[in-house]
Structure 1
Amino acid sequence: MSPIAFAPAKINLFLHVGAPGDDGYHPLCSLMAFADVGDRVVLHEADVLSVRVHGPFSGMLAGEGDNLVLRAARALLARARGPQPLVGLSLEKLLPVAAGLGGGSSDAGAALRLLRTALGVQVDDVELEAIAASLGADGAACLWGRPVLAQGRGEQLSPAPVLPPIEAVLVNPRVEVSTPAVYRAFDGLGDFGDVTPPPMPDAFESVEEMAAWLGFMRNDLQAPAIALAPAIGDVLALLADERETLLARVSGSGATCFAICASDIEADALAERVAGLRPDWWTVRCRLGGPWPDA
């Protein structure tokens, strides 16, 4: 069997974004968890380092020859001693693109973990995390796929509170949302958030307690994302009206929304109903937490 690494979807349980600094970057504070659904990266023999993309959302990456997976592989293999190995990577794209799920960063993180282990590249965790962080704001968090509190540009990580099992539903109206465009719309609003980490317990005793606490938090990019893609508002309105939903929110800059439910039975029922009502949307039942094993 070919070595394989799992690239879980990233979910921003909350996302507070501040005013841009002199360098143009926005400071943020975000509690991130990871879903047990995602993409898969597979290592195989090849004449030249390359990435083959397949899967239901592969067409959304058409023409992206220099994607994050390839950039991650090049950055890691540049640190390998001896002749360059003849390997390639296959990316099974199961997550929608430009969806607020950190898919590219998570794919890159999976490639880094996979190549380091399979090829025995002598790079420690700190250096591997630095490579991941250099690829984008979500890179460091998505490398390990475990719940974290991210600050700064997303590269300053600290442990998250202990989370309960989180049964959830992800819904995307199958529209792509440009993160730079959302930030431009956010800047235009001028309503910048406080990025001081909120007081958090060491552990949440139940998903109901966690959802109630998250209700006092926010996603500062939610309003500008809806302004650019009104279909996101349709998703949120539907999820919020369903009896199983404890909390509905946009992840990242959209367009994916998540609903947290009290139990697996309720999450199953919600996913089935949404899929029936809107078969044109991407609806996936999942559990949030992490890290999840490679499979």
Structure 2
Amino acid sequence: MTIAATDEAVHVRAPGKINLFMRVGALQADGYHDVATAYQAVSLYEDVRAWPDDEFSVSFGGSIDTSGLPVDSSNLAIKAAKLLARTAGVPGGVHLEIDKHVPIAGGMGGGSADAAATLVACDALWGTALSKEELHALAAKLGADVPFALTGGTAVGTGRGDRLSPALATGQFHWVLALAEFGLSTPGVYRELDRRREERPESAPRGISPVVDVAVLQALRAGDARRLADALHNDLQAAALDVAPGLGGILELGESNGALAGIVSGSGPTVAFLADSTDAALELQVALSAARLNAVRVHGPVHGARIMH
């Protein structure tokens, strides 16, 4: 069912994300939690190039250390390519070259961005011409953050984070990311959250499905960074700070150097600081860099995975 397969490499770029808001429901029988999150795609990208090949393989480059990443079939990008090939009945394989800039195990969905970019790249490479809905369904099978990396922008995610509804955001928001030298295990941070809730049952959610606060959506719609700063929230933050206590000092440093607010993104350890303007973001980046932190300025929202010509 291939229409117009190509011999050239297909280049797709997909964004990392920040969780502006994250509410985590009770632990479910399947071992997962219901969440309600507000995602924003930001201008820190993964670049995936896909070449026709007989086998499935992946290699890495980019600005971060990728030496610890698996290149076998456990890699999420390889899983994405194989899933698409199986679904569409494509006989061949693909060689993927991924330039990584989103931190690994950093709470920014870098692996999910790779998977989303791979779906778009292989769809174009093999001419499988899947609809948006079909690609979205494949993305949801790969992981909770993969559908958002496909769509980008700003969105509310419910369920495991994979049921998306777009959220209107006006203008641009300026962020400074403090990227850690280490990763945090998402399941490990969730386990810590569950442990904290067992110790303090009064802090545990009461059976109702979590929702995103209206204040977050209103601030996004108004394009108002100060209002958004007041509404930022992450149920996983205290657990991430328990697992990696040094993050507390980073949050304090950013907030004492002009950030409107700081938040641990997702399960961490990336800390995202919201700034009032480009100039304020630049000053904050300089201050964090002076403290020997790896600080990167980004803006959002940006589009999801798309082919670069």
168, 172, 175: which one pairs with 1:161? 168
Distance 1:259 1:238 in 2: 10
Q: Give 1:212 deviation, angstroms.
A: 2.2
Q: Give 1:266 deviation, angstroms.
A: 1.4
Q: Give 1:173 deviation, angstroms.
A: 2.4
Say whether 1:220 aligns with 2:229: no
Q: Which runs of 5+ in 2 are unaligned?
A: 1-7, 198-202
Distance 1:217 1:269 in 2: 21
Distance 1:5 1:231 in 2: 35
Counterpart of 1:288 in structure 2 is 300
| AA matched with 1:291 | H
Q: Give 1:216 deviation, angstroms.
A: 3.4
Counterpart of 2:142 in structure 1 is 135
Say whether 1:57 aligns with 2:65: yes
Say whether 1:257 aligns with 2:271: yes
Q: Give 1:118 deviation, angstroms.
A: 2.6
Q: Give 1:16 deviation, angstroms.
A: 0.8
Q: Give 1:6 deviation, angstroms.
A: 1.0
**Cα deviation code 1:100-139 (max 9, x no counterpart):** 0011111100110111123211322112111111111112
**TM-score, with length taken from structure 1:** 0.91
Contact kept? 2:178, 2:295, Cα under 8 Å: yes
Q: Give 1:90 deviation, angstroms.
A: 0.7
Q: Give 1:202 deviation, angstroms.
A: 8.7
Q: Give 1:53 deviation, angstroms.
A: 1.6
Contact kept? 2:106, 2:180, Cα under 8 Å: no
Contact kept? 1:46, 1:88, Cα under 8 Å: yes
258, 269, 281: which one pairs with 1:267? 281
Contact kept? 2:72, 2:78, Cα under 8 Å: no
Contact kept? 1:173, 1:235, Cα under 8 Å: no
Q: Give 1:34 deviation, angstroms.
A: 0.8
Say whether 1:149 aligns with 2:166: no
Counterpart of 1:207 in structure 2 is 224
Contact kept? 1:14, 1:214, Cα under 8 Å: no
Q: Give 1:87 deviation, angstroms.
A: 2.7
| AA matched with 2:35 | L
Q: Give the length in aligned residue pairs.
A: 289
**Cα deviation code 1:222-256 (max 9, x no counterpart):** 0000110112112111111112x112111000000
Counterpart of 1:196 in structure 2 is 211
Contact kept? 1:165, 1:207, Cα under 8 Å: no
Q: Which runs of 5+ in 1 are unaligned?
A: none
Contact kept? 1:141, 1:157, Cα under 8 Å: yes
